[in-house]
Amino acid sequence: MNQYTEENILTLDWKEHIRMRPGMYIGKLGDGSTPDDGIYVLLKEVIDNSIDEYVMGYGKQIDVEIKGNKVTVRDYGRRIPLGKVVECVSKINTGGKYDSKAFKKSVGLNGVGTKAVNALSDYFLVRAIREGKSKEATFHQGEIKSESKIIKSDEEQGTILSFVPDETIFKEYEFRDEFIEQQLWNYAWLNAGLKIKYNNKIFHSKDGLLDLLNRKTSGEEVRYPIIHLKGEDIEIALTHGQHYGEQYYSFVNGQHTTQGGTHLNAFKEAIVKTLRDHFNKSFDPKDIRASIIGAISVRVEEPVFESQTKTKLGSNNIAPDGPTVRSFVNDFLTQQLDNFLHKHPDVAKELLKRIQQSERERKEIAGIKKLANQRAKSANLHNKKLRDCRIHYNDNTKVDNELKDRSSIFITEGDSASGSLTKARDVQSQAVFSLRGKPLNCYGMTKKVVYQNEEFNLLQHALNIEDGLEDLRYNRVIIATDADVDGMHIRLLLLTFFLQFFPDLVRENHLFILETPLFRVRDKQQTFYCYNEKEKQEAMKKLRGKPEITPLQRSR
C-alpha cells in the first residue's frame, strides 16, 4: 500500500514547473512539422512582446532572424527598463503588462510567455537598449549564466532576444519557413503599417484584413468585392465565395485565435441579424452564412483566453466596465455593415442573390435528403459499411470530448481491405468504413449529388457531418486506399469529395492519408517495413547477406 505523507508534497520553482509541464504553457511539443508545434509558440511569445510595443506606438519595425536552430528577434520599442532586464525574463508574474496604463490591450498579460521561452531554451539571451545605455544577460534552461553591467551604447533603442530551443525537450525539431511566414503575415495583417523583416524577406500590410482576405481568396471567384470596415478596437472583412462551408479568420489583440471564441460567435450572430434586418426577411442563418469568407479582429482590455497558448477567447466583456463582446460586435455591424450596404446597392444585390441561391439549393435538397436518409437507414449502415469503434457503441453522436479526440475512422476500398484493417485496428478507438467501387468524380457538382449517390450519402452519415463539423464523430478521418494506381485514383476522388462539399474538414485538420509500406525486408532476426526504394536499400545494407524482400503493394 502506497503511503501519502508530507514527503510526497513537492514545491517546484518556476523553471522546474515549466520544464516538467511544458504543455501547460506552450501546448504540444512536436517537431516543427505542424504550425501549432511548441517551437512556433516560443517564437510567438517573443514576437508578441514586440507587437505590443508597436500597438502602444513605439517602434515601426521588427527584425526576425533564424539561423539553424537559433532565433533572434529585435524590435525598436521602449521595452525593458535596464534595471529589470533579468527579472522580466526570469521571475514569474513579473512584467509591465500588469500596469494597464502602459499596456491596455496587449496580447500577453500573465507575465509567463518570455519566462517559458527562457526555461525551455538551451541558450537564451536578452539585451535591452534604452537612452544610450544597454544591458544584457544570458541563461541556460532558465538559469542565469551571465549578467553585464549597464554600459553606454550608440545602438538604436529596443530589445534583442535570442534563444535556442532545448533539444532535450524538443526532439529532432526543425523550423519551417512556411509556418513562420504565415505567422508573420498574420502579424502584418493585424498591424497595418508594421514592417517585419525575416531573413531578408519583408512582411508589410497597408490595408489589414482587406489584404488578408484578398490573399485568402486569390484565385477564387467571389460574389462581390470584399467589404472592409474599421472602427475603434474592431476591424472586419467579409465576402461570399462559391464554395460550400464557412471560412473565418479571427484575432484578438493581434493574436490569431484559431479556435475562435466569444468574438467569433458574436461576429456570426451579428452578420445574420444585420442582413435579416437590412433585407427585412427571416432568412435561415445557414443560407446567410453559406460560402462566407470572413475575418474579424478586436482589441480587448485584460483578455481572458482559455489556455496560455491563447487560441480561444473566453472574455465576455471588451473592458472590465465596458460592453459585452457580443453587444460590441453586434452594435458595430448593425450600424456599419447596414450603412455600407445602403451606400453600395450593387454589393447588396449580389449578396442577396447569394443568400437566395443557398436557400433554393437547401429547399431543392430537402426532398432528396428525406429519401436518402431513409435509404441510409434501410441500408443497415453500421453492419454492412461501418465497423464502428467501442466509444460509439452506446450512443451514435454524443461522446466524451477526450475519447472523441482519440477516435479515427479508416476509409478503405472494398471488403478485403476493410477486413484486414478491421483485424489490425484498435477496436476501442478506430472504426473502418468500406467503399464499394470507385467514388463519383464530383468536381463542380452541387451538394444534391451527396444525397443522390448512395456511397457519398452513407459516408457523410458515418461521419455525421451532414449539418457541419459540430457533431463529427471521429477526430481523424483517414483515407486508407492501396498504394497502387487504382488506390491513388480513389484517394484523389475522395479528396475531391471532401474539398468540394466539406472543406472545413480539411481546413480544421481532420483529414489524413494512410501511408502504407511498399516493401518488407527481413532475415531470421529482424524485419524492416520500407516506404520507398531508398529505405529498402538501407534495410538491405543493415541486414547484409541475402535478406528476404517482399513487395507489399504494387508499385506507384
Q: Report DSSP letters for 34-92, one per residue.
A: STTSHHHHHHHHHHHHHHHHHHTT--SEEEEEEETTEEEEEE-S----GGGHHHHHHST
Cell numbers 451514435 correspond to 396
287 and 227 co-located in one domain: yes
CB atoms within 10 A of CB 148: 12
Provide the grid cell at 110. 500573465
Q: What is the pTM of this model?
A: 0.79
Which parts of 425-484 fold into alpha helices (H)? 448-452, 454-463
Q: Distance between terminal CA atoms of the chain?
A: 58
pLDDT score recorded for residue 98: 42
pLDDT score recorded for residue 136: 87
**8-state DSSP, 525:** S
Domain with 322, as residue range(s), is 209-353
189, 205 contact by CB (below 8 A) = yes
538 and 390 co-located in one domain: no
408 and 271 co-located in one domain: no
Among 204, 226, 253, residue at a domain's last position: 204
Determine the Cα–Cα distance for residues 226 and 228; give it in Å rounded to an integer: 6
Q: What are phi and psi of 105, to 5 degrees?
A: -135, 55
The CA–CA distances, whole Å, from 491 to 386, 478, 482, 551, 555 equal 18, 10, 9, 21, 16
**DSSP run (H or E) holding 295:** strand 292-298
Residue 107 within a domain:
yes
423 and 538 co-located in one domain: no
Look up the CATH number of the domain holding residue 315: 3.30.230.10
The CA–CA distances, whole Å, from 420 to 416, 483, 494 equal 6, 15, 20
Look up the CATH number of the domain holding residue 453: 3.40.50.670
For 180, the 3-state DSSP assignment is helix
176 and 51 co-located in one domain: yes
Residue 370 within a domain:
no
Total of domains in the chain: 4
CB atoms within 10 A of CB 101: 6
- Measured at the CA of 198, the angle between CA 197 and CA 204, to 5 degrees, comes to 45
DSSP string for 316-353: -BSSTTS-BHHHHHHHHHHHHHHHHHHH-HHHHHHHHH
- Measured at the CA of 194, the angle between CA 217 and CA 304, to 5 degrees, comes to 80
Residue 385 within a domain:
yes
Provide the grid cell at 351. 449578396
46 and 166 co-located in one domain: yes
328 and 451 co-located in one domain: no
258 and 189 co-located in one domain: no
240, 217 contact by CB (below 8 A) = no
Determine the Cα–Cα distance for residues 97 and 272; give it in Å rounded to an integer: 36
Residues 6+ away with beta carbon under 8 Å from 102: 56, 96
Q: Which of 440, 444, 439, 459 is nearest to 243 (CA)?
A: 444
Cell numbers 470596415 correspond to 229
**DSSP run (H or E) holding 505:** helix 503-507
Determine the Cα–Cα distance for residues 89 and 112; give it in Å rounded to an integer: 9
Among 204, 219, 249, residue at a domain's last position: 204
CA atoms within 13 A on the CB side of 408: 19
Strands 121-130 and 143-147: unpaired
422, 415 contact by CB (below 8 A) = no
Determine the Cα–Cα distance for residues 183 and 470; give it in Å rounded to an integer: 27
- The whole-angstrom distance between residue 465's C-alpha and the CA centroid of its chain comes to 20
pLDDT score recorded for residue 256: 86
CB atoms within 10 A of CB 124: 29
Mean pLDDT per 10-residue segment, the chain (556 residues)? 53 71 82 88 90 85 94 86 77 51 50 81 90 88 87 89 92 92 94 92 95 90 94 94 89 85 93 96 94 93 72 81 90 95 96 94 84 70 75 58 80 81 88 90 89 89 86 92 85 94 89 88 90 89 86 59
529 and 507 co-located in one domain: no
Residue 368 within a domain:
no
187 and 226 co-located in one domain: no
Residue 410 within a domain:
yes
pLDDT score recorded for residue 178: 93
32 and 154 co-located in one domain: yes
